[in-house]
Structure 1
Amino acid sequence: MRTHAAAAPGSAQPSDMSRRTSRPRTAVPPGACDCHVHVFQPERFSYAPDRTYTPGAAPVEGLDVVRKSLGISRVVLVQPSVYGTDNRCLLSALATLGPDVARGVAVIDPETVSDVTLHELYKAGVRGVRVNLESKGERNSGLALSAISATSERVAPFGLAVQVYADLRLIADIADDIAQLRAPLILDHFGGAKAALGVEQYGFRALTELLRDNAVWVKLSGVYRASQDKPTFSDMRPIAEALIEANSERLVWASDWPHTGGLAERAARQPTDIEPFQQVDDAHVLDLLGEWVGDPARRDRILVDNAAELFDFA
């Protein structure tokens, strides 16, 4: 039976999700990392006017409650699209959590960002920059490749990776090109694969080939985005196992807390309407990793060693 962690005393109104966080059945090792989480603090850091959705608050205090309940030692904070290239919220959270706990993935404009800014981001704990193509529904492979390539060329000299959120079909169409990028490439959310389409879906073979060639890293993250079998996510097993078989040393795990919605959920609301977070049992998702992998040592490598290598944890 899962137990539920109470909110930390004095925390700044952590989100409802943090108050209901359960604990995993199997403990995770020291150094385990949740490689994809977001922080939203609109009362301190305003959202971009041209955002496509408006999430509620999910402060760093709420994240810390969830992190500790799961037994996670480290997190990677990812700049959400609602903040655009204004990374102040991300940098504030990195400073609060400290370098032993947190790394960051920022968002930049490769045409205007200065060398000084890139140096400052790295010094603050940022180890990657994100190219978010999916939140705006990008399906043009030429535009996608241009955005990814320009970002890679700009940040590679500064020791930063490029993290891409895109549809799997888009990734497949530019697979040969992105395999040649200068900067390390990270693909969000199972590389954009969808459980309902199975391992024979268009682009999945290209994804596994990229993994086998050590050309990309893939986040086993955002399982609720890829699955149609909620809340168990049992339909994700074939996808996950195929990625693990392809190259488990290029995989990292992540919860995608606090679980924002997607394009389908946003179709019926205005961008300024407050979007409710999805209800996801992160402890169950963490336990799923052990079931998919089977071998505890391999699970621990995904949680600890792979994440430490990719995001430069000591």
Structure 2
Amino acid sequence: MLTRRALFKTASALCVSVANLKRVSAAGPKLNTTVAFDLPRGACDAHVHVIGEPAEFPMSPDRDYTPPAATADDLVEMLKFLNIDRVVIVTPTIYGNDNSVTLAAIEKLGRDRARGVALVDETVSSERLDSMMKGGIAGIRLFLGGAGVFRPEAAAKSLQAAVDLANTRGWHLDIAAPPDVVAALAPQLAACPVPLVLGYFGWVAGGVRQPGFEAVLSLVKSGRAYVKLAEPYRLSRKAPDYDNLVPVVRALLAANPERLLWGSGWPHVDSPPVAGRSNTDLAPNLPVDTGHLLNLFAKWVPDAEIRRTILVENPARLYGF
């Protein structure tokens, strides 16, 4: 799997489209926009991060950025404000392979409404993995390609190592990889014995004609992979409605709505490099309106039954709620 340093560099390469968003100085934008549609019972936000207080949850010295705290208490407030019942907490790269903050947040919210996705490397012990599973971890986050030259053999090895760890525990792989990488690894991905989740709309920043998008669609059509409709601001410069992503959403819906998830990306960390900012300088979060993102999802998916499939049934199946 990726080394810690490579992991941070690869994760940073993902976030290339936030230059038009001004930074905010608080822990996150205020919750201003309420939900404009009826959320089904059991609705799930499948992609959030928790940033603990530094004294309790120290960040890795190798991190690329330093976000303000966005605690489990803050997360509970956000979920309550938006009437979201369930959540998937993804360990951010600032903690390296230490998943303590995610596990603590799951414990606070309870296993009936929270699951986690962990960052691990090849040194992790079986005992540690088993402990994380008992704590509510349901998957492994994996970065493939996106930073520097893509090395297919190394990526294939990282993928197989993650599969080996996940397979005996009933976990899934939460993969960040651009479509060309997905296309290069398509046979291996299609043969994976564990569920796959492709993040960030499949990382299709270039639209439906982007090379490799057909490989993403093929995995979705076959049921081999889920795609998270999460954090559109990582891919599109057309805030706040991200209209250029509508064709991508339509193509994914046409492929297989039973393999789509929705995630907010709260608290919307500002992870890309910024000129003159060191990795220890405070990186204020992005001024993204989480309620607007949820309402935007309803606009993209106007059918209430399909929304229920994406918000309730799909995450319940994948994460074991």
TM over 0.5: yes
Write the mapping of 1:154-303 to structure 2, written as runs, cut at 5 A. 154-194=165-205, 197-263=206-272, 265-266=273-274, 268-303=276-311
Aligned partner of 2:84 in structure 1 is: 72
Structure 2 distance, partners of 1:276, 1:248, is 35
Change (3 A) 1:112 1:54: same
**Alignment partner for residue 98 of structure 2, among 60, 63, 86?**
86
Q: Work out whether 1:51 is the aligned partner of 2:63.
A: yes
CA contact (8 A) 2:145 2:155 kept: no
Aligned partner of 2:13 in structure 1 is: none
CA contact (8 A) 2:236 2:242 kept: yes
Aligned partner of 1:117 in structure 2 is: 128
Change (3 A) 1:193 1:268: farther
**1:271 partner SS:** coil
One-letter amino acid matched to 2:224:
A
TM-fit CA distance, 1:293: 2.0
**Greater shift in the superposed pair: 284-293 or 234-243:** 284-293
**1:257 partner SS:** coil
Aligned partner of 1:108 in structure 2 is: 120
Which ranges in structure 1 are unaligned for 5 or more consecutive residues? 1-13
Change (3 A) 1:291 1:266: same
**2:130 partner SS:** helix
**1:55 partner SS:** coil
One-letter amino acid matched to 1:73:
D
One-letter amino acid matched to 1:31:
G
Structure 2 distance, partners of 1:295, 1:91, is 35
Matched positions, count: 295
Which ranges in structure 2 are unaligned for 5 or more consecutive residues? 1-25
TM-fit CA distance, 1:209: 0.8
**Alignment partner for residue 97 of structure 1, among 100, 105, 109?**
109
- If asked which structure has higher relative contact order (CA below 8 Å, sep 6+), I would say 2
Q: TM-score, length-normalised on structure 2?
A: 0.87
Structure 1 distance, partners of 2:293, 2:51, is 22
**2:112 partner SS:** coil
Change (3 A) 1:137 1:52: farther
Structure 1 distance, partners of 2:46, 2:149, is 24
Percent identity between the two aligned chains: 39
Q: TM-score, length-normalised on structure 1?
A: 0.89
